[in-house]
Amino acid sequence: MKSAAELKAEILRLTREFSKLTHGSNRPGYEQNPNRKFVAGETTVPYAGRVFDENEVEAAVSSTLDFWLTLGPEGEAFEDELAKILKVRKSILVNSGSSANLLAITALTSHKLGDRRLKPGDEVITVAAGFPTTVAPIIQNNLVPVFIDNDPLTLNARADQLESAFVQGKTKAVFMAHTLGNPFNLSVVTEFCKRHNLWLIEDNCDALGCRYDGQQTGTFGDISTQSFYPPHHLTLGEGGAVNIVKEMRLKVLVESFRDWGRDCWCASGVDNTCNKRFGWKLGELPEGYDHKYIYSHLGYNLKPLDPQAAIGRAQLKKLPQFVQARMDNWNTLRAGFADLEEFFDFHLPTHATGWSKEGGFTWDNSGHKTECSWFGFMMLVKPTAPFSRRDLAKALDAAKIGNRMLFGGNLLRQPAFVELRKERPDAIRVVGDLPGADRIMNESMFVGTYPGLTPDMLNYMIDTTHKFIKQK
């Protein structure tokens, strides 16, 4: 009879063989892979997707065989490894990027923060065009989102509108995303938050691996968030993280709201970390009530599973190559579309003023620069073009080339926000007319830059777009 260790080793060896035979299309596009065939017009070119090999599959199977299942040793290791990569105090795993955003803003409503807690009616500055779960948690916590406009070329917030959005005594935080892998103007935003003593939450879900003046995004604010949904920079299947940048008191609050609202900070399966499990007197409970069942907040259950973290640990090892592939793929597309500037305005990194085939980006005189781990390649169809954004999107769809709008576009045009403003006009405040967000909504679309794209796929995207334009 084989031992359990021998059986597990044999299962994992066969697992790797199985993965190599069946998951070849999910390997990185920059690998030489003679078994991966691309047929133009027949093979789908996704805008994003899972990129993995036998290492992730083995990690998932190994963790499942151990059958811990709930968040445990793999989760703890992933949190430590992610925090080390980002150089933050703590990373806390959750079940999605949307949950991460919910927890980040909810933690700041805790009574344990005293005078700095966010209270109902307090205002949080955010940006109009983007993904709804950056904004929804603000409203769900009875706070008031204050919308400023987007710059249609960077897709990020117009930092020059921050002061117009600020109201003394009401504005308490800024919560916005580094859109499509492009850091927002962190020099202006961080100075603004520091001057007015505001919380800063960075939605870093689209931007893992981006840098601003050499420093990674997700490390400038008080809290940042990550998403590990398959289209994102790393995947755990589902999953996300809340990063605690400086103040460790926020760690306890995020974990409390993640774990039912409990006051206890023991890890799963661990008792009496505080050495006074039966020595607390909190609320109106009797003295000595079991600390594992004391709840200081109205919380949730937003933990992922341990096998997901095992997959994530294998993914983390590939992050540098994935980031470089996103940059390389973006550059390939930009060079391939260089002759189409008559028809498109193209995405620019924050602080960039232009791009040329010979010299790359030119920069403004601020002294700041960004390095983008691009989530996608954005194109704005000019009003003078002989085709619309919709025409191009339909043509790419027909050619099996994945493409997307910038998520929800101008969120204030979405049905949920239209109805909210009708029912509760004071639930939202808007600065100006938002022409940039409307232009993004009406004219922008993006195609993929993710690491699974092969050179053949990138060339097919370029050729298909050129052929479409020639027919117009």
As a whole number, mean pLDDT of residues 194-198 equals 98
pLDDT of residue 143: 98
Q: Which of 114, 110, 135 is nearest to 125 (CA)?
A: 135
Give the model confidence (pLDDT) of 259-277 as tens digits. Answer: 999 998 887 778 888 889 9
pLDDT of residue 273: 84
Q: How confident is residue 34, by pLDDT bands cut at 50, 70 and 90?
A: confident
Topology of domain 316-409+420-470, CATH: Aspartate Aminotransferase, domain 1 (3.90.1150)
Q: Which of 103, 58, 372 is nearest to 224 (CA)?
A: 103
Q: Which of 111, 178, 196, 232 is catalytic?
A: 232
**Domain ranges for the chain:** 73-308, 316-409+420-470
pLDDT of residue 266: 81
pLDDT at 148 over 90: yes
Cβ neighbours of residue 427 closer than 8 Å, sequence gap 6 or more: 139, 144, 420, 421
* Residue 83 neighbours by CB distance under 10 Å: 17
Q: What is the mean pLDDT of the chain?
A: 96
pLDDT of residue 66: 95
pLDDT at 46 over 80: yes
pLDDT of residue 234: 96
Give the model confidence (pLDDT) of 213-235 as tens digits. Answer: 999 999 999 999 999 999 999 99
DSSP assigned state of 233: S
The distance from CA 24 to its chain's CA centroid, rounded to whole angstroms, is 26
As a whole number, mean pLDDT of residues 458-463 equals 98
Residue percentage of the chain with pLDDT more than 70: 100
Give the model confidence (pLDDT) of 61-98 as tens digits. Answer: 999 999 999 999 999 999 999 999 999 999 999 999 99
Query: How is residue 133 written in tokens?
Result: 């779960």
Cβ neighbours of residue 151 closer than 8 Å, sequence gap 6 or more: 157, 158, 436
pLDDT of residue 4: 94
Instruction: Give one word for 367, left, alpha or beta, with left for phi > 0 and alpha for psi -120 to 50.
Output: left
pLDDT at 318 over 90: yes
Give the model confidence (pLDDT) of 391-437 as tens digits. Answer: 999 999 999 999 999 999 999 999 999 999 999 999 999 999 999 99
For the chain, how far is it from start to end, CA to CA, in angstroms? 71
Phi, psi for residue 436 in degrees, rounded to 5: -65, -45
Give the model confidence (pLDDT) of 363-403 as tens digits. Answer: 999 999 999 999 999 999 999 999 999 999 999 999 999 99
- The answer to whether residue 368 is catalytic is no
Query: How is residue 407 written in tokens?
Result: 């998520």
pLDDT at 210 over 80: yes
CA angle 396, 400, 406 (to 5 degrees): 50
As a whole number, mean pLDDT of residues 2-27 equals 95
Specify whether domain 73-308 bears CATH 3.40.640.10. Answer: yes
Which own/partner pairs from 318-323 qualify as long-range (CB within 8 Å, at least 24 positions apart)? 318/28, 318/51, 318/234, 319/85, 319/208, 319/209, 319/233, 319/234, 320/209, 321/28, 321/30, 321/451, 322/28, 322/51, 322/209, 322/233, 322/234, 322/451, 323/208, 323/209, 323/233, 323/373
Q: Which amino acid is at 347?
A: H
pLDDT at 35 over 80: no
